[in-house]
Amino acid sequence: MPKSTRPRRKGRLLWASNIALTAGVDEVGRGCLAGAVLAAAVILDAKKRIPGLADSKLLSPQQREQLFPLIQKQAIAWAIGRAEVEEIDTLNIFQASLLAMKRAAQALPVVPQHLLFDGTHCPSDLPCSAEAIIDGDDYVAPISAASVIAKVTRDREMVALDAVYPGYGFAIHKGYATVKHREAIQALGLCPIHRKSFKLGLASKG
């Protein structure tokens, strides 16, 4: 498995690569109690800079929504991958996150020559060279772009699921382990999109 690295220049987005078709890959939803884990892969055009691009966690929802169509329009290619709740419960969240990122990379309509994954691990059996970059979503533009695409896509999905499973507040907390979410689980029990392998805060019975 490729060794993880840190960007050599911090505080400034890294756009250029010595490999032409380099895709950034990032996931979102790993720490949630409900919903799939989603990943995105993005190949940016270094000649088309996207103002305001940053790690999605540092951006407001409005900023992410503004960047989302710009990334889609200006990227050479982008794609979504996912691992469903059943896969998370079967594999564990770490392996499911790697699977989602691998699927995003494989779904790219343009085959990348190199892959940059946010974090410390790369999936196995990839079609090209790869490396993991710690804090890559902060400092590497293709990974930042992937984080925005993944975050906006998953947030929209959780808003839609709020109408399917009312009462849990998915449109607000997006499945994360907030106090309100745990209180809703206590009151309503689990719904089909809750991760059964996670500690969901249910009171013991008997």
In a domain, 110, yes or no: yes
β-bridge partners, 130:
115
pLDDT band of 9, cuts 50, 70, 90: very low
**In which domain, by residue range, is 52 found?**
4-156
pLDDT of residue 98: 98
Q: Which CATH number belongs to the domain containing residue 9 in this structure?
A: 3.30.420.10
Q: What percent of the chain has pLDDT over 90?
A: 80
Q: What is the mean pLDDT of residues 30-38?
A: 97
CA–CA gap between residue 9 and residue 138 (Å, rounded): 11
Please, are residues 126 and 102 in contact by the beta-carbon 8 Å criterion? Answer: yes
Q: Report d(CA 157, CA 174) in Å as an integer.
A: 9
Average pLDDT, the chain: 90
Q: How far apart are CA 111 and CA 12, in angstroms?
A: 27
Chain segment 146-162, per-residue pLDDT in tens: 999 999 999 999 999 99
Share of the chain above pLDDT 70, in %: 88
What is the token pair recorded at 196?
């059964």
- Residue 171, domain member (yes or no): no
- Number of domains forming the structure of the chain: 1
The answer to whether residue 21 sits within a structural domain is yes
Q: Given this model, what pLDDT does residue 204 score?
A: 35
Q: Is the residue at 205 inside a domain?
A: no
pLDDT score of 18: 65
Residue 172 lies in a domain: no
Q: Which two tokens stand for residue 154?
A: 């998953």
65 within domain boundaries: yes
**Mind listing the pLDDT tens digit for each residue in 47-104?**
888 999 988 989 999 999 999 999 999 999 999 999 999 999 999 999 999 999 999 9
143, pLDDT greater than 60: yes
Q: What pLDDT is stored for residue 5 in this prediction?
A: 58
